[in-house]
Structure 1
Amino acid sequence: MKKISNILSLIIAALTVMLGCESTTLDVVESPNALNPSQASVDFFLNQIQLMTAQIHSGEEGRAENGLSQFGMEPVRIQHGFGPTYRENYDPSDFDRVWDNVYARALIDIRTMNPLAEEAGQFTHIAIGQILEAYIMMSMVDFFGDVPYSEAAMGGEGILNPTVDSGATIYQAADQLLVDAIANLNKDETSLPSDDLFYNANEDQWKKVANTMRLKLYLQTRLASAEGFGASVSTSRINELIAGNQLILDPTDDFFFQWGTNNASPDSRHPYFDANYDGAGPSSDFYTCNYYMNLMANQYGEPDPRIRYYFYRQQEDFSGADVVTKECVTEISLPSWWDPSEPYCLVPATNGLSGYWGRNHLDDDGIPPDDAFRTLHGTYPVGGPFDDNSFRNVSGSGAVNEGLVGAGISPILMSSYTYFMLAEASLTLNTTGSARDYLETGIRQSIGTVMDFGASLAEGSGFVPTSTAIDSHVAEILATYDAGNNTDKLRIIVEQYFIALWCNGIEAYNTYRRTGQPDNLTPAFTTNDPGPFLRSMWYSQTAADSNTNITQKSAPSTPVFWDTNPDGFVD
């Protein structure tokens, strides 16, 4: 009681002094969480926009969905999707967080940052924002088709129900953003970004990103019938970009987001690491598709050199597979629609590697007690463990310290991607350069990037691929390429692109709808007819419910503007 009396006396005395002053200035500082735009730092805005881009790509810690990449990997058999039909594979509410990150965060931050940066002469900040805005909006069109853009993030001006713009219009705007970004990067600025999370304010590297995004844009639209797009335009623009020699052509210019190792307050680890190694067992959403693991393990005479960096096997074989842990092992015969040469329940050990435990496409069975059996994401790119044949159960409490402890990357535009895009362009549009040479360079650069990323874990394991093994693997792919017709050649280019695209489902999903390759993907697991393929995704449930100008699709099978392929082109 005495302490309380003393405290009250001090408070009264302080108030008496303050109120007794003829003039008192309190200089109240607003909460940093409630700063108005005039008080905000352009650098802080830019960092937040960059983080949002990574989260739109790869998701966030602790959430059921993991960004557009997961939504893209599942339909094309890289990651497993539950189905059992395409219509049921996703619910519109699954896309709420992505839409929220785009429209309530990234675009608003860009719109708020730009006038501040313009006034301060910080043109590099503006350019980076333009490049990321172009990437984000192209991705929204790629997944959802016609979406709000010209009236988006204008709630302060009274536009609460923004209209949707055509995908072609948004792509045209994105291309102009990239052109304008390059112009801004060539201007003299008052100050460079103080903490650029991608390139440490290297303007030359950002120019290469902008140009490579334009390559991606014009390859994507080579089939489009909308004005300003199509094969002739794509051929011309791509040849100009090749001649300009300002693309991401070397791994030192790779465009990726680097995650950290902090596991709380905030969790800075790669979201896929969190989903696989949070100490409570892997997330039910994280099964790798058997097709994809078989592609890497058994497509050629030896396993792909990247396989031990991509996946971690907890089991040496399938001796633990029974009716409880993997129900399909009890099935005596294959479904009538299944190609016997394709993996059905288990990935075969054709090339001597066993224990790859995944799921088949659109398998909607419940989740069995298989935490200790499931093959998990490995070192590249999520920062997990390297597969050194230790076959440890890494699903327990110690999992948080596995591998690189989550210091993975979100691979957005890697140099190998550039070469695979150029290979497709050369083969389909007859653009400058040899498709075969581009293919070889893409494979070699991808292998090199993956091995460099996981070198600290692989060293001394006895399983680091030798240069002889790599050369032999590449030679076998090229020999198969040389022996094939143009359809075979395109299939091989896309298969190798898919392998390089591990954990980048955005480009894999786009490439499949654009090319129809690989044309030998495994079918749906439980039904011969899973319905029309996901030529686009549902609109966000929240967006469709709250915006009177958005009408939910009758089915997620409406092609986006650049996908002019016929019905049934992909399945």
Structure 2
Amino acid sequence: MKSFLKYITIVFIAGGLFTACETTELDLRISPNDLASDQADPNLLLTSIQLAYATNMQVLSDRSGELVRIDYMFGRDYFNNYPGSTLNGVWSRTYSSGGNGVGDFTGVGILTNLQTLESIDEASDTDYSFHIGVAKTLYAHQLMLLVDFLGEAAFSEAGNPGEFPAPSLDEGSSVYAAALSLLDEAATALNGADNLGAADIFYAGDTEKWIKLVNTIRLKAYYTTNNTAAFNQVIAGGNFISDNDDDFQVQYGTSELQPDDRHPDYAADYTPSGANIYQSNWMMETMLNNDDPRIRYYFYRQVDATPGADAPANEEDLACSLVVPPQHYQDGGFTYCSVPNGYWGRSHGNDEGTPPDNFKRAAVGVYPAGGRFDDNSFDGVGLGLGGAGAGIEPIMLASYVDFWRGAMAASDAERANFLRAGLEKSIEKVQSFGSLDANADLSFEPDAAAVTSYIDGIVADFNAATGDDKENIYAEQYFTTLYGGSVEAWTYYRKTGYPNTLLPNWEPNPGPFPLTFLYPQNEVITNPGLTQKQSLTEEPFWFNASDLGSPLY
């Protein structure tokens, strides 16, 4: 795929066209600062839709990953951690105005631009089916995710401010049904469509891959709602993401300025002043204990030891290394502060101040952020090192689909086969990123024998285990595979309660585990028909507490 640079530049140009249109003959009936919909460039509208969607996926992945310990969560109290502003940008980028959040290059939301595309198509002799098909695919996915994250979403009254200036929210199941109908429309539009030179940052205009994505989003919906018959029907059709070559992802570039199109995590960690992101202790420790062959790709260690684990405790660098763990950590035998071997991160809910450890904490690695491969060099991070940021934002990968298929399987034997398939695809993809770091000593890469041994061992352990142990093995491997693209991890945890090996919050009483987020506060303020929730315990329609094998915490 191509770099974001070209497309972001196009959108900046588009923004200028939308806001500063010059003419020698002013028609006073139309503001010269507002470009009429029939004057908009459909290719630029589609680019804006794609960038708004990509930004939303980054935000949703980060929030989901924090809750399930794939990423680090700052703050001890769930309700205070996730206020009404949490999804302001996601909401506005989905519906109307996208002027929220770092990495947002859109001025108009997905729905508004989709409606404009449809108006242009209706009035034009040119067939813009490709544009509309892509836009409906992305909009449908966003609607499902809004339900997953908020419990409800606007649909039936959305995008019609003349008739519904304060749109009501639709119940989650009806939004899912509407999204599935949109996917039907998208597939029809995409079938044999010509992209007309539109910038497609995902599949470079390949309509066959877009239709595979449509079917994969259907799988996501049927998996989430436990619709086994519909899930199996899509599988029987065979036209879904089942190979790494069809993976749905955002490809980043290496430009630092004008604009910065590098992976956002790379841009945050590979700076002259060192790394700025803390990695999750649970994720690193789980991979370390499993001897996971992906660990050197996921994390780059700047030092070879961690205070309080295999180096002397140090209050200045890692204050918690001198602290006696609280009772709830001791009772569960959890690692409170320090993971050994230089995997220097933070545990769930740690709200300590930031010490001068920017050149000591573990940084993002070559996968998926385009950073450095960990070859025991312990040289630190800096501008341009490793893959220079040319990583990806994973969204829907073939390995993820294998784990969904395993979760929907009719037997443990079948489930084990999908566990194996998911690991094989994941590790193959992750290892392909090693070459991005041209200066790395790749002799530290696990060889084929080591990878096979790892996968065989995990599958054997799964087959031999029972009860919680079996569920934990499956869930831990799924979450490890989701690193970097964790949107579905929170859903899996809410559906199953696994893995129950997750580190507890630092705070013994952090409040109820979030089942949904608060409504976007900007919408609550401007929509008189909407009242803000008072807790994070409102259940999405597909949630069933009786299905949980372990309590959420």
Tell me, yes or no, whether TM beats 0.5. yes
Cα offset, 1:457, TM superposition: 1.9
When residues 282 and 190 of structure 1 are mapped into structure 2, their CA distance, relative to the original with a 3 A threshold, is closer
| CA shift digits 1:22-51 (9 cap, x unpaired) | xxx946799998432111121111111111
Query: Among residues 203, 209, 215, which one is paired with 1:199 in the alignment?
Result: 203
Q: Is the 8 A contact 1:167 1:561 kept in 2?
A: yes
The residue aligned with 1:89 is 81
Counterparts of residues 407-486 of structure 1 (less than 5 Å): 407-427=390-410, 434-457=414-437, 460-485=441-466
**Quick one: which amino acid aligns to residue 244 of structure 2?**
P
1:306 counterpart residue number = 294
Q: Structure 1's 100 and 26: CA in aligned 2 closer, same or farther, altered over 3 A?
A: closer
1:43 matched to which residue of 2? 43
Structure 2 unaligned residues grouped into runs of 5+: 1-22, 98-108
Q: Which secondary structure state, in structure 2, belongs to the residue aligned with residue 498 of structure 1?
A: helix
Of the three residues 527, 541, 544, the one matched with 1:561 is 541
Partner of 1:113: 117
Deviations 1:418-456 (A, max 9, x none): 1010000105xx69x921111101001000001112323
Contact 2:273–2:358 (Cα < 8 Å) also in 1: no
1:202-351 matched pairs, under 5 angstroms = 202-222=206-226, 234-283=227-276, 286-298=277-289, 300=290, 303-318=291-306, 319=311, 321-332=313-324, 334-339=326-331, 341-348=333-340
Does residue 534 of structure 1 match 2:514? Answer: yes
What TM-score, normalized to structure 1? 0.84
Measured on the aligned residues, the alpha-carbon RMSD in Å equals 2.3
Task: Tell me, yes or no, if the aligned pair for 1:89 and 1:362 is still in contact at 8 Å.
Answer: no
Distance across 2 between alignment mates of 1:34 and 1:262: 32
Q: Compute the TM-score of the two structures, normalised by the length of structure 2.
A: 0.87
Residues 72 and 190 of structure 1: is their aligned pair in 2 closer, same or farther, counting only changes over 3 Å?
closer
CA distance in 2, matches of 1:31, 1:327: 59
- How far apart are 1:474 and its partner, in Å? 0.5
For 2:552, the equivalent position in structure 1 comes to 570
Question: Which amino acid in structure 2 is aligned with residue 473 of structure 1?
Answer: Y
Q: Determine the C-alpha separation between the residues in 1 that align with 2:329 and 2:302.
A: 31
Match of 1:154 in 2: 160
1:361-415 superposed Cα distances (whole Å, 9 cap, x missing partner): 1112222221111111111111111111111232xxxx22122211111101001
Aligned to 2:62: 70
Alignment CA distance shift 1:190-1:417 (3 Å): closer
| Structure 2 residue 334 is the aligned partner of structure 1 residue 364 | no
SS at match of 2:442: coil
Q: Spell out the pairing of 1:168-207 with structure 2 (5 A cutoff).
A: 168-186=173-191, 188-189=192-193, 192-207=196-211
Q: 1:547 to 1:417 in 2, by over 3 A?
A: same
SS at match of 1:400: coil
Q: Which letter maps to 1:310? A: Y
2:123 aligned with 1:134: no
Q: How much identity, in percent, do the aligned residues show?
A: 37
Change (3 A) 1:563 1:338: farther
Counterpart of 2:285, as a letter, is: N
Tell me, what secondary structure is at the counterpart of 1:129? helix
With over 3 angstroms needed to count, the CA separation of the structure-2 counterparts of 1:190 and 1:384, relative to structure 1, is closer
CA contact (8 A) 1:381 1:409 kept: yes
- In structure 1, what is the Cα distance between the partners aligned to 2:388 and 2:33? 30
Match of 1:80 in 2: 72
Separation in 1, partners of 2:476, 2:426: 13
Pair 1:101 & 2:83 matched: no
Alignment-derived partner of residue 231 in structure 1:
none
Against the structure 1 CA distance between its residues 33 and 296, is the aligned structure 2 distance closer, same or farther, given a 3 Å change threshold?
A: farther
* Pairwise CA distance, 1:141: 0.9
Q: Which amino acid aligns with 1:364?
A: D
Distance 2:230 2:221 in 1: 10
Q: 2:479 aligns with which of 498, 506, 515?
A: 498
Asked if the contact 1:164–1:549 (Cα under 8 Å) also holds between the matched residues in 2, the reply is no
Question: Is the 2:73–2:350 Cα contact (8 Å) retained in structure 1?
Answer: yes
Match of 1:227 in 2: none
| 537-546 or 453-462: bigger deviation | 453-462
* Change in 2 beyond 3 A, CA 1:204/1:336: closer
Offset of residue 189 of structure 1: 4.1
Q: Is 1:508–2:489 an aligned residue pair?
A: yes
Q: CA deviation at 1:486?
A: 5.3
Which whole-Å CA distance do the structure 2 matches of 1:290 and 1:190 have between them?
Answer: 47
Larger radius of gyration: 1
- Pair 1:32–1:254, CA change in 2 (3 A): farther
CA contact (8 A) 2:94 2:139 kept: no
